[in-house]
Structure 1
């Protein structure tokens, strides 16, 4: 993204007049709330728009860097924050579409532009005249009568430039710039390879024998997936998590479960043109060199220096503190699954493709609860209502669907968000369904960030999920885990929508990496509360609320299989840290390194990493979570402890706590130090034992088994 650039322009911002009407990025957007005119934007518009955006941004930065006037906050920092409007507009639209609605043309443009944009940003961050002005203000920041937010902006931008190499000698700057450009290309290739493997695989289910064990909602989703791929009347399982996990959970066909599972964990690891292992080796080695240039022994040391954790050792300490209890619980769970298979007359040893299948059977036996009984009560539309209700009760905001606005896919729904006084807050785009043009997973992003520097510019935020569509006209039914994912991403969305800061650099989710998951993960707790479930978990056919007996079962089973879930996550986080703790990767054998690391940890053979390295997009499709996948668990300490505050109050919508959460977290963006923000909300630092309780990883009871 553009370094310290302003967000996308509001509808009243004119973006140029040349060739007006031919390229939407060069004309005024007269759409409601400045929503991008998706119906007019074509792939051929992006390259010229990027080129002009970079030209304008270069000219703006040059004017700032070479300004003959004495450096001031206004003519340096605020001027930087006002720069790059067109470029940011184009980038926001392009990279969102590249993730959620891509095609061959966009992928080609993305690969071509990756090093160009990296070079553009490097030229800014390594500009000596610009950094001299930034540094001059930074050195005297305490005597300039800056507001707290202005001082924070100065410190964050100065640190960003330093960490980007602004203080390096010229020859090292040139090498760092070359590394950055190469990494941008490699990361883009990695992402496209994963998507290519996901798009190319489909497991066709032929007849009742192949469908054995699959409940109706899984069959409907498989039928819709086939129809989306031009195979009406067929049934298809894809590598989307929301497609393959239900298949692994319910299919009686062990051979097909094995085939699907192996395809899932082999994305990017098939020895063909989409194999990512060579890219990983090159990425890791370049990251090591980058860290060394900056004076750090490893990339993990470099990356974590600007996080709450501060050091790889601190992050690893937290993960290992949970690892042994998680393994112990997973071993107990495995024994229950093995016993269930034995009781059914299956002389097998539990394998990774068996775990979900037998876990569902054990869950049904142990808690008298099965997924097909639960899902009819979790309609997507009602769960969307539930998350809107939660936001309203906590923060006073309302959501009203917008019709007749441009959208990039028929799957997308748009909402206007207003505060309790009826004032416009944001536009929220909800994109919930899987499709071949969309990468897997779930994420939040924005088409425009909030700011007040150039007027009251309100954000346009998007949530992406990958739920399976049901049959035409039928309601979309979620698992309880899906409902948690919906709330998780909505927490990120609220973090972007409720932002109330002056400077775009500090807007919304622009916080330290291991704090960004706190708002999303804390919101997950509300979907588990009886006050929410009794109101919104209603049967899609009868309309009756979920029976208390079933609700009690769901809540009692909440921590079932948490050993498995925790182990598969922790394995990924620990392997990520180990890759980036390397001091030399020239001879790195990715498969062997992954296997050796897991062996050293004592990884249960029946469980596979949640994200195997060749498809670990969090870590290798850009720098976002590189050496930082641990941050989900770091934030879980905060969210578990933070929600305890509401439970202690006896009111999950306690007004005083809600206001503190809004003031210090959801509206504050990056204007506060994360621990200060948390303490201001909670009244103290978090306690790690809340995490272990939340995951049910207290010591297991002896002699636990299948009931």
Structure 2
């Protein structure tokens, strides 16, 4: 029988035929697709014709289509709905794929053709997008080691293969720790917890096959438990387990893996002539240098840590009033901060949450996209990879634009966090193709599902990424959608979060789960007034993680990352009652792959732009100003990586932003 992964799919909009695919299909499909890609690359490299953009660069763009089709399905499944068979396949595929792409980057004949075109680029009469694609192809080959020779070339291949193995091990260890830990709750342990937390704990217990409610390490469950449980002993148990992911000893411990990854990254950078991995990684980003990153982070750190220390004093007083005389601990912060928020802003998360129904927040994200970009969303009835998934056709003026898939609920087979991926990216070459975009979240399941305000922001954030994919309008897939500088990729997602806070959006879609009534104006005012509440804590836990990431990669790799982590936290004066958002053993952004390595700062870099970009709407006709929306699509959302990121932002705003808008938006600006 023909492998369904390698067929031309005749499903609606060529969505993967999930009901026809089995795990047994992946290994033979990958082998066949790898062989086809090798043949395509060899044909390009060995061509007798003089190199041209068509026979070399466009040929590279067209090559590997079947491999992309197989891997896009596989990696979506292994992240969102893993199982032992898929995890074993991931361990098998990772070094194999690393070796495959290393062979391409070390193909001297191929590199010679691309280098020849690069030298003759001014005489090739290329479009602006073609010139960009040529530059990126040449640069990527050089940065992959294409110019290396002999022992250095062989060592680079070894490093890439080993890093692929280690990244997979790190990811699977973390998933195992998150999947296997639960805190059973007796009925007495539920006292003081709001109904939505109890319901989420009961649902988690059912999903885990437990006899009763449990707390898991899913953020959407453990955070509200830490916010509301009056049982300090249980909060400590839960927090310590959450903080210890990847550092529990035994087969799933990630500490030695992190150390080896850092050492290999440094060696890789030095083989390519860079002083450090951070210098190598940041060269292609907007920030350009480690010094620029550190300057931004420290400009935010100082006011944030000052605010956090003042907040810690206030929370400690509240703890003393409860008769607890020890120091404020990380498992205390969220609990007393929630009580303080209720006291100071009269804003109760338990009273607020019924207004943030998942269904209504999906509607809100869609409605904002309709008003801004004239997109329409209609449900699709197609087979998907899990019963929790839903799909919509996205159209504009009756024309098909994309397929959007939402996978919102936490489960043991899904890695933690939230992300956006494309099972197929937009392109016009070698043939027109529309995107199939997936948003994956980890919200607590309920009937109906209720979100925290932070969950709702996550939903808008990931949908901002989806819009970047769906509205892409470029020729070549390599510069499509989110294929942009890492410190630019978060701009559309973080910018879209602002529409959740628009008063008329909340007024229309924040409706009570039981009565259907709109959020009372008084509560709406409190929500907006408290938007920057506890921002010292939120900023400190994030910036500390970004500074540790930078320190790991800017200089010699630490032999003991945990010791280096503690050294950095001491140097910056990390408050003892706040933990890093992502400690080293579970810092998947940095160690599951190279994506955010030396680049976790990019959320903050993008936030500088998103605060300034939303200000452009406010300075114009408001949040739904049609001219600003058109400019946003024209200069940022539709252009992908077809132009330099700084150039794109300047085209939208007329200038690059400063840090002031970010500090003001976080409530950290000097008064």
TM-score normalised to structure 1 length: 0.94
Shift of the alpha carbon at 1:348? 3.7
Partner in structure 2 of residue 510 of structure 1 = 483
* 2:141 aligned partner: 161
Shift of 1:650: 3.6
Q: For 1:297, which of 263, 275, 278 is the aligned residue? A: 275
- Asked if residue 521 in structure 1 is aligned to residue 501 in structure 2, the reply is no
Q: 1:340 matched to which residue of 2?
A: 318
Q: What is the CA distance between 1:197 and its match in structure 2?
A: 0.3
Query: For 2:163, what is the secondary structure of its paired residue?
Result: helix
How far apart, in 1, do the equivalents of 2:56 and 2:6 lie? Answer: 26
2:591 matches 1:620: yes
Residues 317-336 of structure 1 mapped to structure 2, 5 A cutoff:
317-336=295-314
Q: Deviations over 1:600-626 (max 9, x none)?
A: 111000000000000000000000000
Is 1:456 the equivalent of 2:436? no
The alpha carbon displacement at 1:583 in A equals 1.7
1:96 aligns with 2:76: yes
Query: 5+ unaligned residues in a row in structure 2: which ranges?
Result: none
1:231 to 207, 210, 223: 210
Query: Which whole-Å CA distance do the structure 2 matches of 1:666 and 1:398 have between them?
Result: 17
* Separation in structure 2 between the aligned mates of residue 170 and residue 38 of structure 1, nearest angstrom: 44
Which residue does 2:637 correspond to in 1? 666
| Residue 392 (1) aligns with residue 370 (2) | yes
**Pair 1:680-2:651 in alignment:** yes
Matched, 1:211 2:184: no
The equivalent of 1:552 in structure 2 is 525
> Does the alignment pair 1:107 with 2:87?
yes
Q: Report the equivalent of 1:412.
A: 389
After TM superposition, the structure 1 = structure 2 runs for residues 477-516 of structure 1, keeping only pairs within 5 Å, are 477-516=450-489
Q: CA deviation at 1:338?
A: 1.2
**Is the counterpart of residue 152 in structure 1 residue 128 in structure 2?**
no
Task: Using the TM superposition, give the Cα deviation of residue 62 of structure 1 relative to its aligned residue in structure 2, in angstroms.
Answer: 0.3
Aligned to 1:267: 245
Alignment correspondent of 2:614: 643
1:699 CA drift (Å): 3.5
Task: Give deviations 1:66-110, integer Å, cap 9, x for gaps.
Answer: 000010000001111111111111110011100000000000010
Give the whole-Å Cα distance in 1 for the aligned partners of 2:440 and 2:7. Answer: 28
- Is the partner of 1:508 in helix, strand or coil? coil
Aligned residues: 671
Q: Deviations over 1:44-69 (max 9, x none)?
A: 11111000000000000000000000
Of 118, 121, 136, 2:116 maps to 136
RMSD of Structure 2 on Structure 1 (CA): 1.0
The residue number in structure 2 matching 1:12 is: none
Distance 1:342 1:641 in 2: 41
Give the Cα separation in 2 of the matches to 1:699 and 1:252: 35
Per the TM alignment, residue 343 of structure 1 is displaced from its structure 2 partner at its CA by: 3.1
Q: Distance in 1 between matches of 2:155 and 2:4?
A: 37
> Is the 2:6–2:70 Cα contact (8 Å) retained in structure 1?
no
Structure-1 separation of matches of 2:192 and 2:493: 34
Give 1:349 deviation, angstroms.
Answer: 2.3
What is the Cα deviation at residue 272 of structure 1? Answer: 1.3
Give the unaligned 5+ runs of structure 1: 1-18, 701-707
Distance (whole Å) between structure 2 residues aligned to residue 138 and residue 399 of structure 1:
43
The equivalent of 1:316 in structure 2 is 294
Cα displacement (A) at 1:584: 4.2
For each residue in 1:500-550, what CA deviation from the matched residue of structure 2 results, as whole angstroms up to 9, or x when unmatched? 111011111000000000000000000001010001011111111111100
Correspondence for 1:605: 576
Distance (whole Å) between structure 1 residues aligned to residue 597 and residue 469 of structure 2 = 22
Paired with 2:621 and 2:39, the residues of 1 have a C-alpha distance of 57
More helix by share: 2
Contact map agreement 2:660 2:669 (CA 8 A) in 1:
no
Q: 1:67 aligns with which of 47, 50, 68?
A: 47
Q: Deviations over 1:555-607 (max 9, x none)?
A: 1111010000000000100000011123244xx12221111111111100000
Per-residue CA distance 1:10-29 (angstroms, 9 max, x = gap): xxxxxxxxx32xx2123332
Q: Secondary structure at the match of 1:270?
A: coil
Q: Counterparts of 1:21-36 in structure 2 under 5 Å?
A: 23-36=3-16
Alignment of 1:435-446 (within 5 A): 435-446=411-422
Cα distance in 2 between the residues matched to 1:620 and 1:664: 32
Give the Cα separation in 2 of the matches to 1:190 and 1:595: 21
> Which of 170, 182, 200 is the equivalent residue of 1:190?
170
Deviations 1:201-254 (A, max 9, x none): 0001011x211211000000000000011125x101100111100000000110
- 2:65 counterpart of 1:85: yes
How far does residue 310 in structure 1 lie from its aligned partner after superposition?
0.4
Distance apart, 1:341 and its partner CA? 1.9
Partners of 2:394 and 2:368 in 1: CA distance: 14
Pick from 264, 288, 310 the counterpart of residue 266 of structure 2: 288
Contact kept? 2:276, 2:553, Cα under 8 Å: yes
Q: 1:161 and 1:671 mapped to 2: Cα distance?
A: 18
For 2:6 and 2:40, the matched residues in 1 are separated by: 17
| Counterpart among 591, 594, 603 of residue 562 in structure 2 | 591
Shift, 1:143, TM fit: 1.6
CA distance in 1, matches of 2:122, 2:444: 54
Of the three residues 588, 601, 612, the one matched with 1:630 is: 601
